[in-house]
A and B are shown apart, each in its own frame.
Chain A
């Protein structure tokens, strides 16, 4: 068989490989690239929409098996790559940022910052370029969690300033704008101003994902962000308790009202694993986050266990995903990153999207 004919057969076979999230085959999605066929040796790239793709290995195996099964194919080499797609927006800020993810909760103390930090690092570890914005102006905790000493940011031209860097991520926090231990005392309207600075005056550069750790609630910071930042999606963090779920419910409704796509709900502190056995002890209640997600018909992104190393990681400046990469919590964070990235890809693949940002002048 000629190389040409063989290539056509390979493509036919790959048309039966479906992306489980986007519900289309990988050929129609344009993932298959650089195919070379040389006397039975077949090689090609599969370019996914995110390096954090949760089914990367599964897709690779399927491509390999299906190609190998074709008569005349002697060797197969599948190279998995990823180029993160950009959520379309044409607002004049954050132009180099492909996806902006807001991490929110209704209630304080549910572990939003811990989730944000570990989620950002998990995305980074998958190979993406990542930024983390600490949107909690009154109680910034990201620098502490990542072990970044409080120093003033490096100033650039035209009022711009540069993010701090840690674990290969770019990090911005209001903590860097004050002296260590000093409270930042501001009235509401100033909050919006600081957030706008974070969006407009920070040299974020090119990022695949910008994770924004929001303060709790549904106030000034949330409104400014939804009005000024081209958010790609939001995730809502809750704990299993009813008091937290009630507020998470409000958080979800807030994003619905301002039409920010909901990527899903994460339940933090879901269960405890003691050092004696692997059993999951649901010490609070179980299933609340999942039920909440079902009620709103949005994805449930998973349960994060409560284990002492998570808290230690937050205090020592080495998040658990770096210090104990194989712990149940770290694995849960990696899964979370995969699901969040997959949800973003799903939203971008939707055809019936609303018009982009617009501005028009009225003619007399």
Chain B
């Protein structure tokens, strides 16, 4: 019988998720990559239907709308593919798929790649 494809090699999953400091989230991935995120950026990029209009794709969150004081209250895994974040402003409908989190990574290497890309 053929071995199943290692889905993880194309689609890494978080191995460890932790708080680095008051405003930074860290994720270690199954492929070894170390990601860091500013929590304010994560709130601004919330992918839920309230924050990005489902029909038009219009972003409802404008620059400057999210205060610097924003913090997660808690985080929770959803199924095998996403993370839900409960925010200090009461918002909690955003499910962040692993794929999106990987794209939003703010480590030095990823920031450089994003600038070039």
Contact = CB atoms under 8 A, between A and B. Distances in A.
A360 B13 contact: no
B81 A297 contact: no
Interface in B62-85: 71-82
Interface in B1-35: 1-8, 11, 13-19, 22, 30
Nearest to A263: B4
Contact of B78 (A21, A227, A342, A362): A227
B74 A361 contact: yes
A296 B11 CA distance: 14
Contact of B2 (A256, A261, A299, A350): A299
Q: Say whether chain A's binding surface is mostly helix, strand, loop, or mixed.
A: loop
A359 B4 contact: no
B98 interface: yes
Interface in A346-363: 346-347, 350, 352-355, 357-363
The interface size bin for chain A is 35 or more
Contacts of B73: 361-362
Contacts of B15: 354-355
A355 B17 contact: yes
A296 B80 CA distance: 19
Interface string A49-91: 0000000000000000000000000000000000000000000
Given A299-B2, A363-B19, A358 B11 contact: no
A332 B74 CA distance: 48
A253 B101 CA distance: 19
Given A226-B81, A259-B98, A355-B17, A20 B76 contact: no
A258 B79 contact: yes
A259 to B, nearest CB: 4
Contact of B1 (A226, A339, A350): A339
Contacts of B14: 354-355
A358 B77 contact: yes
Interface in B85-111: 97-98
A353 B8 CA distance: 8
A226 B13 contact: no
B3 A346 contact: yes
Contacts of A355: 13-17
A30 B71 CA distance: 47
Which has the most chain A C-beta neighbours within 10 Å: B1, B13, B71, B97?
A: B1
A343 interface: yes
A353 B14 CA distance: 9
A262 interface: yes
Nearest to B2: A299
A364 B79 CA distance: 27
Interface string B39-57: 0000000000000000000
A297 B1 CA distance: 12
A353 B11 CA distance: 12
A4 interface: no
B7 A261 contact: yes
A228 B84 CA distance: 13
A226 B74 contact: no
Nearest to A338: B1
A142 to B, nearest CB: 24
B17 to A, nearest CB: 6
A231 B72 CA distance: 28
B3 A259 contact: no
A358 B74 contact: no
B75 A360 contact: yes
Contact of A297 (B5, B19, B75, B79): B5
B69 to A, nearest CB: 11
Interface of A: 20-21, 23, 226-228, 231, 256-264, 296-299, 339, 342-343, 346-347, 350, 352-355, 357-364
State the 9 A-B residue pairs at the shortest beta-carbon distance, nearest first: A354-B13, A297-B5, A259-B81, A259-B80, A362-B72, A258-B81, A227-B79, A359-B76, A226-B79
Given A21-B1, A353-B30, 5 more contacts: A259-B11, A262-B7, A350-B8, A355-B13, A360-B74
